[in-house]
Structure 1
Amino acid sequence: MLKLYLDPGHGGSDPGAIGNGLQEKNLNLDIALRIRDLLVNNYNDVSVRMSRTTDVTRSLNERTNDANAWGASFYLSIHINSFNGAASGYEDFVHASVSDTSQTARYQDILHEEIVKLNNLSDRGKKKADFHVLRESNMPAMLSENGFIDNGSDAAKMKDSNWRQRVAQGHVNGLVRAFGLTTKSDTHRVIVDGTQIGAFQDDQNVLDAVKKHLNSANRIIIEKVD
């Protein structure tokens, strides 16, 4: 059983990074909710608890204390980056004390690989830092920085709901690989121009996914998951 503590960074009185008409807190929440829905709707043996599901203020201590008390098996914090307008791309972090041969590092390797397959951002690499949520969580933890909100090219992608869905799917694909999750019965993958953009049990969700890409895609495949 994967007990995923899913943490959309910032929220409420803390907007996080701001740029190009966007607020980080809203993007973090949108992507995290998509990750949650993809996991609970399509995979067995997974339970998701979120630090917030709406635009509320929660301290860093409240987040890690909640995850620790729940007994999460993995902590995943979703963020958007900001620097000087010139920086761009994707990167993720585990705690500075983590060994490169640890279980946490293995999870980072897998998630990083799957996320960069789908996010259409430059790869800034796997990194380490002394962030609170990585240091104070009792379980393996990773924080992803999904583009730079103050970079025009990255921000244009963030405004596209299809892009945010792909980012969510990349995180899910990594979790599926890392924790050996199995799909529920009667699940269908939707593959657009060679890239899986979702896996759905509900037929209407399959049709909605196809409709979103019908006018822009060269090839759409609907494939039943065995």
Structure 2
Amino acid sequence: MKIYLDPGHGGSDPGATGNGLSEKNVTLAIALKINDILLQEYSNTETRLSRTTDKTVSLQERTDDANSWGADLFVSIHINAFDGTAYGYEDYIYSGLSDESATALYQRIIHEEVIKQNGLRDRGMKKANFHVLRETVMHAILTENGFIDHPDDAAKMKSTVWIEQTARGHANGIAKCLGLEKSSATLYKVTMDGGQIGAYQEKDDVLKVISSNWETFQTATIEKR
């Protein structure tokens, strides 16, 4: 299964700011940890991130990349802000979808799993006409993981434990949505240009992913574990 992780903002776009934090840094930390969990704990799982460093990526670039890659699920990670009084977690799917759609079911699953882990007030499941939800051709969800301008939520964001818990909630939800299987056999971990892109049981799958990305990377390593 192909999972596209989209840490919001980045580079010249810091996103929301408050309490000494920038949204772009918190979203990247959560996304990288989700990626680690998925690749280390589940077999036959591929991931791709819209960014792995603090760089500027347009909304169009994010959705074009996910669409051309053929992702099965798009998860965009964000942090909220309002006026310093609002707090808690909420998530969104595209406003044009019905409550009976498969994407809405995915939203309910991910929402429940994230709330179990993150210790934030539950602000509910919502819909919006956001670009990354409207222009993706696969199931897509956008999560808003607390309010950066609220002191209690921001204090959690500064904790590596909270980052881990929030990522764990996302990963658990993604795994349930896509029916991912826990790794039990020997895996071959594939790293390209310093970033892990997958872990596979079959050598043919390793060769296939390297071949499909042949023109886009400078270095690749295979680690048996």
Give TM class, smaller chain. 0.7 to 0.9
Deviations 1:181-216 (A, max 9, x none): 111128xxxxxxxxxxxxxxxxxxxxxxxxxxxxxx
1:126-205 superposed matches below 5 A:
126-185=125-184
Q: 2:23 corresponds to which residue?
A: 24
Q: Give the letter for the 1:45 counterpart.
A: N
Deviation at 1:72, TM superposition (A): 0.6
Deviations 1:34-71 (A, max 9, x none): 00000001101210000000000000000000000001
Q: 2:110 corresponds to which residue?
A: 111
Q: Give the letter for the 1:104 counterpart.
A: T
> What TM-score do you get using the length of structure 1 for normalisation?
0.81
Q: For 1:145, what is the secondary structure of its paired residue?
A: strand
Q: 2:199 corresponds to which residue?
A: none
Aligned equivalents of 1:57, 1:176: Cα separation in 2:
29
Give aligned-pair identity as a percent.
Answer: 59
Q: CA RMSD in A?
A: 1.1
Deviation at 1:176, TM superposition (A): 1.2
> What TM-score do you get using the length of structure 2 for normalisation?
0.81
1:206-217 superposed matches below 5 A:
none
Q: 2:34 corresponds to which residue?
A: 35
Aligned equivalents of 1:68, 1:116: Cα separation in 2:
28
Aligned equivalents of 2:3, 2:176: Cα separation in 1:
14
Aligned equivalents of 1:180, 1:75: Cα separation in 2:
15
Aligned equivalents of 2:150, 2:108: Cα separation in 1:
26
**Runs of at least 4 residues of structure 1 off by over 6 A?**
none
Q: 2:72 corresponds to which residue?
A: 73
Aligned equivalents of 1:49, 1:173: Cα separation in 2:
17
Aligned equivalents of 1:136, 1:176: Cα separation in 2:
23
Q: 1:192 corresponds to which residue?
A: none
Aligned equivalents of 1:32, 1:49: Cα separation in 2:
10
Aligned equivalents of 1:122, 1:61: Cα separation in 2:
32
1:87 correspondence with 2:86:
yes
Deviation at 1:73, TM superposition (A): 0.7
Aligned equivalents of 1:177, 1:77: Cα separation in 2:
17
Q: 1:11 corresponds to which residue?
A: 10
Q: For 2:13, what is the secondary structure of its paired residue?
A: coil
Deviations 1:119-171 (A, max 9, x none): 00000000000000000001110000000000000000000000010000000
Aligned equivalents of 2:40, 2:76: Cα separation in 1:
20
Aligned equivalents of 2:96, 2:173: Cα separation in 1:
22
Aligned equivalents of 1:132, 1:33: Cα separation in 2:
22
Q: Give the letter for the 2:86 counterpart.
A: A
Deviation at 1:179, TM superposition (A): 1.0
Aligned equivalents of 2:8, 2:28: Cα separation in 1:
8
1:123 correspondence with 2:112:
no
Between Structure 1 and Structure 2, how many residues are aligned? 186
Q: For 1:68, what is the secondary structure of its paired residue?
A: helix
Q: For 2:85, what is the secondary structure of its paired residue?
A: coil
Aligned equivalents of 1:111, 1:13: Cα separation in 2:
30
Aligned equivalents of 1:58, 1:182: Cα separation in 2:
32
Aligned equivalents of 2:106, 2:160: Cα separation in 1:
26
Q: Give the letter for the 1:85 counterpart.
A: G
